[in-house]
Amino acid sequence: MFIKNPKFEISAVGPNQYPTLGIPEIVLVGKSNVGKSSFINTMIHRKKLARTSSEPGKTRQINFYNMDNLFYFVDLPGYGYSKMSKKEQEQVGKFIEQYLFSRKEISLIVFLIDIRHEPTQNDKLMYHYIISSGLPCLILANKADKIAKTKVLDTVKTLQKQLNPLGDLTTLPFSSERKIYEDDVWKFIEHYI
């Protein structure tokens, strides 16, 4: 899919600011720094549309990126940001939960984990949120460029066993550096739009 005119639309701090177009939302979730904003930029071939650094002061905003009025990429705050207090982390968790459980427009969750590490406790918690929400989900093992090409597929399988033992959620490798996994991900996203 080629997006002609991707646009940042709004940083929402609450439901009254969520867009009202009613088009599908493809939502990025994952721990802080896993590559959610980079994912959006990579998919649309823009370097800086989505801001790609953790800004602790902006952790309670949900960023909506309008893709040619066809769908939104929604960049959720990352969890597990180490410089945040426990209380702040809990607030972020509630904020994410509120959006995931109430927003009717969500068509697909793109759940990013780091290919180099076992899923964290927070990743597992997020997995259970997603399962209980009943929403479709694509798991991406990101930063695949950080391990040898020959190990990518086996590592993805191992991670899937750890996070999704039933093996019912599609789990693919991804890398914003090594741009060879985009097509598979676009196919998956298009299906849900």
Ligand X SMILES: Nc1nc2c(ncn2[C@@H]2O[C@H](COP(=O)(O)OP(=O)(O)O)[C@@H](O)[C@H]2O)c(=O)[nH]1
Q: Which of 176, 181, 185, 189 binds ligand X (CB under 6 A)?
A: 176
Residue 164 interacts with Mg ion (CB under 5 A): yes or no: no
Task: Tell me the C-alpha distance between 107 and 27, whole Å.
Answer: 8
Q: How many residues bind ligand X (CB under 6 A)?
A: 19
**Residue 146 interacting entry, from ligand X, Mg ion, none, C-beta within 5 to 8 Å by type:** ligand X
Closest distance to ligand X from the beta carbon of 92 (Å):
12
CB of 53 to Mg ion, least distance (A): 7
Q: Is 37 in the site for Mg ion (CB under 5 A)?
A: yes
34 binds ligand X (CB under 6 A): yes
Stretch that binds ligand X, among 94-102, 132-140, 155-163, 174-182 (CB under 6 A): 174-182
Residue 153, H or E segment: helix 152-163
CB of 72 to Mg ion, least distance (A): 15
| Residue of 40, 55, 43, 42 whose CA lies nearest to 8 | 40
No. of helices (H) and no. of strands (E), the chain: 5, 7
What own/partner pairs with CB < 8 Å and gap ≥ 24 does 12-19 have? 12/61, 12/62, 12/63, 12/64, 13/60, 13/61, 13/62, 15/98, 15/99, 15/102, 18/62, 18/64, 18/103, 19/64, 19/66, 19/72
Among residues 6, 29, 78, 111, which is the contact residue for ligand X, using CB under 6 A? 78
Partner whose binding site includes residue 175, from ligand X, Mg ion, none (CB under 5 to 8 Å by kind): ligand X
61 part of the interface to ligand X, by CB under 6 A: no
Compute the distance between CA of residue 22 and CA of residue 15 in angstroms, rounded to an integer: 14
129 binds ligand X, rule: CB under 6 A: no
Collapse the DSSP code of 147 into the 3-class scheme (helix H, G, I; strand E, B; otherwise coil) and give the result.
Answer: coil
Q: Which residues bind Mg ion (CB under 5 A)?
A: 36-37
Question: Interface residues with ligand X (CB under 6 A)?
Answer: 30, 32-38, 52-54, 78, 142-143, 145-146, 175-177
